[in-house]
Amino acid sequence: MTPVMTAVETQEKLSVKDLITGPELSRGDVELIFALAARMKRVPKSYAHALEGRQLAMIFEKPSLRTRVTFEVGMTSMGGHAVYLDHAKPRLGERESVADVARNLERWVDGVVARTFAHSAVVELAENASIPVINGLSDLVHPCQALADLFTLEERFGGLRGLRMAYVGDGNNVCHSLMTFGAKLGMQVNVATPPGFEPNEVMVKEAKEAAQANGGKIALFHEPLEACDGVQAVYTDVWASMGQEFAAQLRAQVFAPYRVTSGLMAVADRRAVFMHCLPAHRGQEVTDEVIDSPQSVVFDQAENRLHVQKAILLLLLAENVQ
């Protein structure tokens, strides 16, 4: 029987207590997550008891398939337990303060995953809880998704330094996290958006600084063909994120030239893959021909949410695991 491996036994730890925005993680942290995720994917049974007795609270203001299932299954597969807290109504902080929620949860559970609208809610949870807090998505960033995405690219291409990715569409939370981690890992990340829908200026500035320090590059475009020229990965997301449904019709008109088609994929590298964090609005941001093609790795990305998040959970919650 293969012995159970834990972060404690191998003396592997992240340099941070929480995963909130992304820039707080070092390049070494990201590489550690990827290395552990690869081992856990290869020999999952070796970790069957790694979080035995650990409890995870999951606070969700938004609907979820991949985030909820992968965190719940991840905890269960390592012997732990996850408690789902539906905060669609009321939202976090409306019934009682975020600080009080944090101080209650730290008495009962070993960690928190929060999927919120306001990024400040996740920040406030982490500031007031002594236990680890993981951002499962906020309006600003989606770090777990981007980590799983880049892990998928590393599997496909064998390394990330110098790899070129084009993100096409809205400069949203997923875009921010792809820039953040792509920059740390020495990638070139091209972002093509309609004028007025560029990514957050602060996130761009931080990503460019990280890229300069790690041999990567962040470049902004308004022309999708220019951004996708010769890249190894073309990534898109929905045009209207959760909470922006009121603007969906207007956005559909503005973003129509940014639809990922076989024509757009043709200007990328011949080995290029298509990526999407899902759920996809087929026929809007991507055609069926592309998302169902052999180039598409969207379900590999979805699977790797499980492995990467298991690694994050283990690295953050395993302190008291013997």
- Measured CA distances, 321 to 109, 161, 236 (Å): 14, 34, 39
CA distance 231 to 311: 29
List the alpha helices (DSSP H) in 61-172.
66-77, 98-108, 119-128, 143-157
Specify whether 322 is catalytic: no
Active-site residue among 66, 115, 176, 251? 115
Specify whether 115 is catalytic: yes
Specify whether 305 is catalytic: yes
Apex CA 35: angle with CA 33 and CA 41, to 5°? 95
**DSSP assignments along 3-48, one per residue:** PP--TTTTT---S-S-BSSSTTS-HHHHHHHHHHHHHHHH-GGGGT
Active-site residue among 277, 284, 295, 309? 277
Specify whether 161 is catalytic: no
Active-site residue among 175, 305, 307, 309? 305
Active-site residue among 54, 68, 237, 259? 237
- In contact, 67 and 308? CB cutoff 8 Å: no
CA distance 309 to 67: 9
CA distance 244 to 268: 30
One-letter amino acid of 103: R
Specify whether 54 is catalytic: no
Specify whether 237 is catalytic: yes
**Looking at the annotation, which residues are catalytic?**
115, 142, 145, 237, 277, 305
